[in-house]
A and B are shown apart, each in its own frame.
Chain A
């Protein structure tokens, strides 16, 4: 905690990483987002211990266990704090395990699309000419189809929907954003002296690409990654809701919503809580993404 006064007496040299952290800490929204994300990560990692029940166990032995309301409503019990669904599964446990699934979905989608996007962007930026035109035109085409629509189509092509296909589909629709960002940063960096210096020193193209230029292009990509983490979770839930994502009994939030639509009037809690979980998670990542953007790239500040 000695850092705060040091930062206050400005002209001291602060390491870039420290500067980002200080800027983030000053942003209340970003910190709130970070706290929520920390809780989510904790729940996801320790879901097996934190969740009171198994997410797929059906408590059929007692007939009152079907569509049991949450504890604060009449007929609720502490055994099932957020109530149960139509096949007597604990809603709270399903939501906690859903957090694990959603974070995994976010990670995988962002990793795939980031890797492909960086690859395309680097190639485009380095080799220019026909390669560049071909790649960028292809990206434009992907961008001209609304992303949710495109992922629906890709899932449809891949056959019987499941969570893996949904992740691949969503990842593909995000590639163009990363590719464009990466290309733009590569072009800016390539014109700088240090790249020329390293080229003169005999660095190979591959070395230039990966270890000289790429690290300097990461800032906008990291911001985009945090922001698309939230859209990935949202899109996966949307696909689940449409029946094109995770399939029952997987405790995916969107799928949970779709499965309980029929009980909307009789048992609102089976619909309310999974949706609330999606909203809170997505909001937390957006808050953090906004804060990170302001911290990493003051030029982009909105």
Chain B
């Protein structure tokens, strides 16, 4: 067991170094050196230019710079934002709860709707319900989610006036000492209507971000269920006289969930990419919107740090899913 955990975890190290290396060369590939990027179009005297390069350590050999960078990254130093002059890590951590909150509710929605829909479609295979569910999920899978968000805003915010257009909570609410998680803060604040306001801001972005994972989970659940339902042990369970729902809900679902769990793990990357679009559409103050703004402001350190952190996050969660998978499924654990 320990051996499995260690082998799997050690495989991450080269990938991690590779990601750090990519992030490292990223800034060097940008046309113009960092000094020029920083001073912008004003121009700078050559002596001052050399001096700045020296101060930033950019006149040293590349490999020395790389080890310095790795050392910094490991110690949480991801550089300073050119625009706000705050550490990139600090900026990221301030905004990350907003993205995390949104992603959490999106994946909960995707599971709450996607799993039952997939199971139902598999059980009623070939029926009208199956076709409707599969048609809807392929449409969801093909959805340009930025446009989907605009459509929802157009219908529910502009047309019906049910939900706000953007932001995380109404302007009349203000909390001291916030955790960054708006729903939690609203519940803790005791302010009347705060929770309702927070949820009404959250609902459309959640639907938008959850759409693709929902579609993927529904499709995956259906196909996994179909595979399991045709196996002998299911026939045995049926022959024993178990109720249909017991056979499906207990016997079949358990095995069908194994591939579904992997797919859920893979959705983390999808969620992060989706967050960029969803947050831009709804002016949701999370890391996705921040990254797009960083590009537009040519804030390369922020972009570099942000991408590095998100890549590491995706990697860590995939590792977690793999390890969990090994714990749940002995066949994988013992495979060399």
A165 to chain B, nearest CB (A): 12
Q: Known: A149-B272, A264-B158. Is A144-B15 also a contact (CB below 8 A)?
A: yes
A275:B18 contact, CB within 8 angstroms: no
Number of A-B contacts (CB under 8 A): 121
Distance in Å from the Cβ of B39 to the closest Cβ of chain A?
17
What residues on B are CB-neighbors of A268 within 8 Å? 154
B269 near A140: Cβ-Cβ < 8 Å: no
A144, B315: Cβ atoms closer than 8 Å: yes
Given the complex of chains A and B, what is the CA–CA distance between A155 and B295 in angstroms?
Answer: 9
Stretch at the interface among A111-119, A181-189, A233-241: A233-241
Interface size on B, residues (CB 8 A): 44
The main secondary structure of chain B at its interface with chain A is helix
A141–B17 alpha-carbon span in the complex (Å): 9
- Size band of the interface chain A makes with B: 35 or more
Pick from B50-58, B100-108, B137-145, B194-202 the stretch touching chain A.
B137-145
The A contact surface, by secondary structure, is: helix
A159 within 8 A of B: yes
- The smallest C-beta distance from B336 to any residue of chain A, in angstroms, reads 18
Q: How far is the CB of A39 from chain B (nearest CB, A)?
A: 17
By a CB distance below 8 angstroms, the chain A residues around B144 are: 234, 237-238, 241, 254, 275, 278-279, 282
The answer to whether B296 and A302 have CB atoms under 8 Å apart is no
Q: How far is the CA of A286 from the CA of B26 in the complex (A)?
A: 33
- By the criterion CB–CB under 8 Å, are A159 and B310 in contact? no
- List B contacts of A150 (CB < 8 A): 307
| Residue B219 is within 8 A (CB to CB) of chain A in the complex | yes
The answer to whether the Cβ of B292 comes within 8 Å of any Cβ in the partner chain is yes
With A152-B292, A157-B26 already in contact, the answer to whether A265 and B314 are too (CB < 8 A) is no
Residues of B within 8 A of A (CB): 14-15, 18-19, 22, 26, 29-31, 138-139, 141-144, 146-148, 150-151, 153-154, 158, 219, 223, 269-270, 272-273, 276-277, 280, 291-292, 295-296, 300, 303, 307, 310-311, 314-315, 318
Cβ contacts A to B, 30 pairs, < 8 Å: A141-B18, A141-B19, A144-B318, A145-B22, A145-B310, A145-B314, A146-B314, A147-B269, A150-B307, A152-B292, A153-B26, A153-B303, A157-B26, A157-B29, A230-B142, A241-B277, A242-B276, A257-B146, A257-B150, A271-B147, A275-B144, A279-B147, A282-B142, A282-B143, A282-B144, A283-B138, A286-B138, A286-B141, A286-B142, A302-B219
